[in-house]
Structure 1
């Protein structure tokens, strides 16, 4: 990472041709620091070679669920992309309006498809974003999504317990998620706070958090 590139804001950095030219892999997983990959996901194309799990290898852009573009594409902060498609988009129309990278790429790839008269660039459907990182429709039979991020604040107690059972990896990112004092029918603020490293006195966390 050069000094000049490193000083750019994230939204500019991910829509810069320099970045994608220097990426070695053709398939790129962009992963925020507040998430985890669920090894029990049935659609986990990065760890499994079954026909069902290769679903995400047939799209050029899939992100976590969002409301923009009628749910198509997904948020870019947690996404799986085709490097060549990203370069084609940037070369077709640079991000002059300084849009967020997710909105910019989806809009530009759609424009490219329209000019070509067919869907050369494959943007994930709303349903595919849910399988990738959605928490609205998971169950024990279908399994957890491929990735989970954040604290999932809108989940009910039973759904949260099921999620933690199916994707224990998320406990590593947010240990408080499995503490009944933090969530559930009878949360206890003081007991919950005692389990959160960042809220402890500095002398009690000499190695940091």
Structure 2
């Protein structure tokens, strides 16, 4: 009888050990809590130089999204075999971090450009939370932001500021309600909008659905400027720097090529993470105790600059 009980205990211990080992290192199968939000990244096959920023994007997202949010990575199958073998640190992060969710894209969505992928309802149906922050490799989340993600509660769509103000541009980063996205995609009007960009179609659909009685909320112009910087926050019409001590967006994207040197310097001083994904901004002429405007402008592919520099990074 004692031998029988010992055998049962040993079998139970072996079974638990098997379950533990099968869960380790496999983020696609591990059970997860119900996330209050998710940051979503597309890992597609891109030029080799582009892969070098993936470590930064993953760590930047995990460091700045709320602790009750996950990071979901939609990837092409080839990505795992062709890329991760050369990026061991990224491989460990993706396999071991408890907030990382790996989701393989179906063959129909492989080899497409990001905007085409986001237009497909499959991605939104498979997102692990209703609040979805889409992240692009051309920008970062700013850890020195004056605002927090809780300031955007109740907004069904927000993107980077654009000329139209309300709503914002989602070609790089945007935050949206998955349920609203799927509602818009299921509307007969969605396909009538043609092959416009996903964010343009979504904003137009939300406005149309609201005309029909829905109460979805687009971000106001002011809220989009919390989300991402607008030039007028730091630049006067003549290009001179406005010293805005309240400046601090949640997201910063692009090289800010059409910003004045001083304004761009201010942005990078507030959100230095941006320099990690744009190596050209590491030119010594662009920062430090003695920046050289003309040399820095040349390194960024900009016309010669004659402005004096009073701010250092």
Which TM-score band applies after superposition, normalised by the shorter structure? 0.7 to 0.9
Partner of 1:114: 211
What is the alpha-carbon distance in structure 1 between the residues aligned to residue 113 and residue 198 of structure 2?
11
Match of 1:62 in 2: 158
Does the 8 Å contact 2:285/2:293 carry over to 1? yes
Deviation (angstroms), 1:29: 1.0
Report what 2:174 is aligned to.
Answer: 79
Higher relative contact order (CA 8 A, sep 6+): 1
Which runs of no fewer than 5 residues in structure 1 stay unpaired? Answer: 46-53, 194-209
Aligned residues: 181
> How far apart are 1:140 and its partner, in Å?
4.6
Cα distance in 1 for residues equivalent to 2:297 and 2:186: 53
| Structure 2 unaligned blocks of 5 or more | 1-104, 235-242, 301-313
2:184 matches 1:89: yes
1:37-186 residue pairs with structure 2 within 5 A? 37-45=141-149, 54-67=150-163, 70-77=164-171, 78-93=173-188, 94-96=190-192, 97-116=194-213, 120-136=215-231, 137-138=233-234, 139-177=243-281, 179=283, 181=285, 186=293
Q: From the superposition, tell whether residues 191 and 15 of structure 1 become closer, same or farther in structure 2 (CA, over 3 Å).
A: closer
SS for the counterpart of 1:86 is helix
Q: Secondary structure at the match of 2:207?
A: helix
Query: Offset at 1:26?
Result: 1.2
Post-superposition offset of 1:147: 0.7
> Could you say what secondary structure the match of 1:124 adopts?
coil
Farther off after superposition, 143-152 or 174-183: 174-183
1:202 corresponding residue in structure 2: none
Specify the alignment match of 1:200 in structure 2. Answer: none
> TM-score normalised to the size of structure 1?
0.76
Partner of 1:153: helix, strand, or coil? Answer: coil
Greater C-alpha Rg: 2
Q: Which residue of 1 aligns with 2:118?
A: 14
Could you say which residue in structure 2 is the equivalent of 1:206?
A: none
The 3 A distance-change label for structure 1 pair 31 and 5 is same
Does structure 1 conserve the Cα–Cα contact (< 8 Å) formed by 2:285 and 2:292?
A: no
